[in-house]
Amino acid sequence: MTLPPKPVARPEKVSLWRYIKLFRRDILSAQPAKLYRAWMAEFRTPFFRSFMVNDVRLLDLVLKQRPEDFPKSARVSEGLRPLLGQSVFLTNGETWRRQRRIIDPAFEGGRLRDTFPAMWAASQACVARLETGTIEIEEVTSHAAADVIFRTLFSIPIENEIAAKVFSEFRDYQRSQPIVNIAAFLPLPRWMPRFFRRQTRETARSIRSLIAQLTKARAAEIDAGAAPDDLATKIMTTVDPETGDTFSSEEMVDQVAIFFLAGHETSASALAWSLYLLALYPEWQEKLAQEAAVLESCDFAVTSQLKLSRDVFREALRLYPPVPMMVREASCEEVFRGRKVAVGSQIVLSPWHLHRHERLWSRPDAFEPERWQTEEGRSCARNAYMPFSVGPRVCTGAGFAMVEGPLILSMLLKRFRFDLVEGRSPQPVAHLTVRAKDGIWLKVSKR
C-alpha cells in the first residue's frame, strides 16, 4: 500500500542549539519518531520546560475544561506580532473575549448561507483560470483561497488592485517568516528587540497598510449607508453587548490580517494536499468527479450532497493539518501524568502527531477517507482530531472552511483530472502552515 509522504524524524537526542536550528527550519522534521506513540513528552531548555501532550484527557482539560488556565503562549506569538498585532489569534483574557463577542456574530446562523454565493463565484473563477499542463498546485489553491477571503470579506475579487497587492505581499511574507522568533527560546525582556528579519518587518508593514486602505474605505461606505452586506461590514458594525464599543481602525486591521492568514493560508494548504492525495489515489478522484455532477447552480443546499468530497477534505486535514502545532502556557502549577508542570511551562498540542498517533488511529499514515463513516473514525473525530483547535478557542471560520474546501475541490474535479508528476513527490514542511518544500507539482488535464 502506497502511503502519502511525511517528514523523516530526527535522531532521538540532539543538542539544544541543534534542535533550535532544526525547529526554525521545519518543526516537523525536528521532532523524534517516538512522539507518534507517546501520550506525553517533556522537553527541557535552560529557561523553561515544554510538554507535548497527546493524552486525550489532558487535551480536553487544556482546551475545553480549563482554557483560561492555559492561555495562548506569548513565546510563540512573538513571531507573528509584526503582521497580526493584537488580533484575536494572539490575545488572551478579557481582550480576547471582547474580540470574540464582536467577531462571532459574523459567522453565526445564516451568515454561512449568505457568503455561499461569493464562495461559488470564487470557485468558478478558479476553474476558469486553471490551465492544463504541469502545474505547481499550491499557487493555484493559494490564489483561490485568497479570492474567497476577499469576496466574502470585502465583496471584491482577487483581481482588485489592493487585493492583488495584499496577496502578492503575503506570499513574500510567508516565505520570509520562520514559524517562531528567537523569543520563543530565550527569556527576553519586553523592551529588548525581537530581531525580526528586515524583509519580514517591511512586508508586514506593507500588508497592514494595504488592509488599512480597505478598512478605511469600508468605514466611509458604512457612514454613507452604501456598504455591502458582507463579513467586513458585519464585523465593523457589530457592537460589543457588554461595553457598547466597536472595533477601532487599528483593531480592525489586526482582525483582517488574521482572517487573511487563517482563512487563506490554511485553506490553500488543505486544498493543495487534497489534490495531491487524489492524484496519488485516482480511484477516489473518480468518485469525487462523479459526485461533483450535482454542482449545477449556486444553491447552498448542494453542500449537503458533497459527502465524499467532505470526507476526502477531512482526511487531508488529518494527514496534513495546516496548523501542525499549537502552544499554550501553564498559568498555575499542575501535574500531568505524574510530572510536575511549573508555572510558565509550555504546553504543546500537536495536531500533526495527534492525527497520526499510532495508539489512537488504525493505519494512521494511510489515506482512508472512508474511516470517517466508521465508529472508530467518529470517535477519533470527537477526541483526537483538531485541525481547527477545539473548545472556546476553536477557529471561528471552521464551518466556513468545511464548506469552502469541498466546494472548490468538487468544482475543480468536475472539470479537470489531476495526475502525479514522476520524480516530484512533495515533502511536507511547516512554516506558517504545512506546505511542500518545493511545491506540489501535478499534471492537469481536462475531463
Q: What is the pLDDT of residues 113-141, one digit of tens each?
A: 899 999 999 999 999 999 999 999 999 99
Q: Which of 6-20, 121-135, 244-258 has the lowest mean pLDDT?
A: 6-20
pTM score, whole prediction: 0.92
Please state which of the ranges 8-22, 59-73, 81-95, 416-430 shows the lowest mean pLDDT: 8-22
Q: Does residue 60 contact residue 378 with C-beta atoms inside 8 Å?
A: no
Higher pLDDT, 181 or 118: 118
Closest CA to 66 of 407, 375, 329, 361: 329
pLDDT at 28: 84
pLDDT in tens, 137-155: 999 999 999 999 999 999 9
Q: Look at residue 193 in the predicted model and tell me its pLDDT.
A: 45
Q: Is the pLDDT of residue 266 over 70?
A: yes
Per the DSSP assignment, residues forming a β-bridge with 420 are 442
Task: State the pLDDT at residue 209.
Answer: 94
R_g over Cα of the chain:
21
Domain 16-446's class? mainly alpha
Q: For residues 277 and 268, give the distance between their C-alpha atoms in angstroms, rounded to a whole number.
A: 14
Band of residue 107 on the pLDDT scale cut at 50, 70, 90: confident
Q: Compute how many other C-beta atoms are within 10 angstroms of the C-beta atom of residue 205.
A: 13
- Model pLDDT, residue 182: 47
β-partners of residue 128 are none
Lowest pLDDT segment from 202-211, 269-278, 311-320, 346-355 = 202-211
pLDDT at 424 over 80: yes
Q: How high is the mean pLDDT of the chain?
A: 89
* pLDDT average, residue stretch 412-423: 97
Q: What is the spatial distance between Cα 49 and Cα 347, in angstroms, rounded to a whole number?
A: 9
pLDDT in the model for residue 191: 43
**Residue 279 CA from chain centroid, whole number:** 22
Least confident of 173-182, 246-255, 396-405: 173-182
DSSP helix, strand, coil percent of the chain (3-state; round to 5): 55, 10, 35
- What torsion do the CA atoms of 186, 187, 191, 192 make, to the nearest 10 degrees? -20
Confidence of residue 176 (pLDDT cuts 50, 70, 90): low
Cα–Cα distance for residue pair 384/371, rounded to 1 Å:
14
DSSP 3-state assignment of 444?
A: strand
Give per-residue pLDDT as tens, 184-210: 544 444 544 444 567 777 888 899 999
> Distance between CA atoms of 435 and 328, rounded to whole angstroms?
23
Could you give the C-alpha distances from 198 to 201, 203, 258, 259, in angstroms and in order?
5, 9, 21, 24
